Amino acid sequence: MKFIEWFPFYQQIRNEFGYSTEKDQKAAEMLSQMIKRKALQLSKLQKKIEGKQVLVIGAGPSLDKNIEFIKKNKTYTKIASNGVVEILLNKKIKPDIVVSDLDGNPKYLRMAEKMGAIMVIHAHGDNMENLEKHVPKFGKVIGTTQVMPADNVYNFGGFTDGDRSVFLAEEMKAKSITLVGMDFDNAPRKFSSDKDMEIDMDLKRRKLKFAKRLLEMLAKQSRSKLVNKSATTIKGIKSL
């Protein structure tokens, strides 16, 4: 998705959630500087996705009944959105790509990277402290933003880690994208990393609702075959 096409949706996000474009842009520039010498070439990511069947895995309650489905489809490229990495690794499932704004458990994120996962790290105005704390601990990374791209920091579209993973797979020309555990209508799952922080569950629900709207928009123009194996019905995406 071109930035000029994405920006009106970002404006809706900014208006609804009160985010600062200036802070988001500052975070993108900061991440760009941080990964100047450790940015992974985009071609490495594209090689994992282009022409491939892809699973985008979220941490919704329906994930539990689909663990065997994930294990069975070994040839699929597995994109894990943030906190679900903790669940997958504990189930002996290795993600190929991790999309995170770094509010997941850092121990599991680093573990996934050591096992070979490509780390796609997102910068926004509210996670600059986490960027400073955790990015130096990773090896090669790809940066993303929801505002104007910067050097080695891309904007593929999307809002939350889950729907942003779908936008990324579409941009990298996946043959098919199957959504697993992407339950936008259910209460978000709590993780071990949530224990030390106050979680606004109402805000999380609002974010998931907006993410669902974005995927319904993407479904109208996606070149990839979109399939939904999650509990939430997403208009325009066929459910298995």
Q: Each residue of 3-34: pLDDT tens digit?
A: 999 999 999 999 999 999 999 999 999 999 99
Q: Inter-axis angle of helices 161-171 and 201-219, to 10 degrees? A: 20
* CA-CA-CA-CA torsion sign (37, 113, 168, 11): negative
| Residue 39: strand, helix, or coil | strand
Q: What is the mean pLDDT of residues 69-82?
A: 96
pLDDT of 35 over the 70 cut: yes
Q: Average pLDDT for residues 73-98, to the nearest whole number?
A: 96
Q: What is the mean pLDDT of the chain?
A: 94
**Is pLDDT at 197 greater than 60 in this prediction?**
no
Look at residue 104 in the predicted model and tell me its pLDDT.
83
Mean pLDDT of all residues in 104-126: 96
Mean pLDDT for 137-146 is 97
Is 81's pLDDT higher than 60? yes
Q: Determine the structural domain holding residue 99 and report its residue range.
A: 3-239
d(CA 99, CA 36): 19
Any idea what the CATH number is for the domain that residue 150 is in?
3.90.1480
**Band (187; pLDDT cuts 50, 70, 90):** low
Q: Where are the alpha helices (DSSP H) in the chain?
A: 3-17, 21-34, 42-49, 67-72, 84-90, 106-114, 128-134, 161-171, 201-219
pLDDT tens, position by position, 210-237? 999 999 999 999 999 999 999 999 999 9
The number of folded domains in the chain is 1
